[in-house]
Amino acid sequence: MLNDVHIAFSTSSIIFLDAVLALVLFGVSLSLRVEDFTRIIKAPRAPLTGLAVQFFVLPASNCLFCWVFKVDPWLALGMQLVASCPSGSFSNVLTFMARGNVALSVSMTAASSLIATVATPLNFAFYSWLNPLTREHLKGIQIDSLHVLLLVALVLALPLMLGMLVGKRYPDLSKRIDKPLRIGALAVFLVFIVAAFANNLQIFLDNFQQFVWLVIAQNVLALGLGYFIASRLLLPEADRRAITIEVAVQNASLALVILFTFYPQAGAMTLVAAFWGVWHMVSGTLLGWWWSRRKPADASATTAIQEA
């Protein structure tokens, strides 16, 4: 059984992953200001569209996908957890690369990180219960929404608020260390993912055909939903690109933190989250490169704030 796969991962690695994730969020939030949140209130159409797709449409669509195609319950649970996570900080870099609306991207990343403290555990629990194929297995892993909520708050909300405070109090310092900190943390996370795959390479190769196509399909679904809905609402092209990337670049590191902290025995779920952490960077980079060669009609939006 795929879920019986044992992933080699130590307790110290869990702590390290927590720290890296918190560091990434801290680095991103150094350049954030309260205005990045009030911008949503002043011009809510684009960011609220993106957040609605991220926290309502994507989890619901993923649940339906897994139900219709009768995806293995444990793989479906892994996909549902990823679909319930907020956008990752790498999305800001990709949006800039894709000539998208960077201000919108940063606003959505910040807002989704705060919303996720409640939405991630609730969406995961609700849609996993809604899918009859995963309902019984959800009972088996004994999810404690309160503990997951506290974990998400510690690794997302707390570093986000601390970063904003430090950035406001020491603006010159934040300008000097902002990019190196974010790039360095991202590099460490990539090395961590590569090392984790190297330690479990045989497990990955033995089960490759069972979950890789699902992760790719889920990513395509997220990309398609983001761009389609933003297009149907007639948002500017730069906004469409930002929303597409925000919806499709999920915070896989958060999913891994949750899994290794609460469900280390869930091997199938871990394989999905780990491969997602690699794949969304590959697909996002390719899409960002393709869009970078095509200037959007509303090009001025891409220069709205700092180069993420």
How confident is the model over 151-205, as pLDDT tens digits?
A: 777 776 788 788 888 888 888 777 777 667 666 766 766 676 676 667 666 767 7
Q: Is residue 305 part of a domain?
A: no
Interatomic CA distance for residues 57 and 50, integer angstroms: 10
Query: CATH number, domain at 286?
Result: 1.20.1530.20
Residue, of 234 and 307, whose pLDDT is higher: 234
In a domain, 201, yes or no: yes
Q: What is the mean pLDDT of residues 112-126?
A: 87
Tokens of 248: 């499709």
Domain contains 265: yes
Reported pTM:
0.79
Q: What angle do CA 41, 44, 50 make, to 5 degrees?
A: 130
Q: Which residues pair with 87 in a beta bridge?
A: 250
Total domains in the chain come to 1
* Rounded CA separation 116/129 (Å): 19
Tell me the residue range of the domain where 276 lies: 8-297
- 184 found inside a domain: yes
Asked if residue 308 belongs to a domain, the reply is: no
* Predicted pLDDT at 97: 81
> How far is 259 from 3, CA to CA, in rounded Å?
13
Is residue 88 within 8 A of residue 280, CB to CB? The reply is: yes
Question: Quick one: which of 120, 97, 88, 116 has its CA closest to 277?
Answer: 88
Query: Is 304 within a domain?
Result: no
pLDDT in tens, 124-163: 999 999 999 998 887 766 556 666 677 777 776 788 788 8
Among candidates 218, 255, 246, which has minimal Cα distance to 84? 255
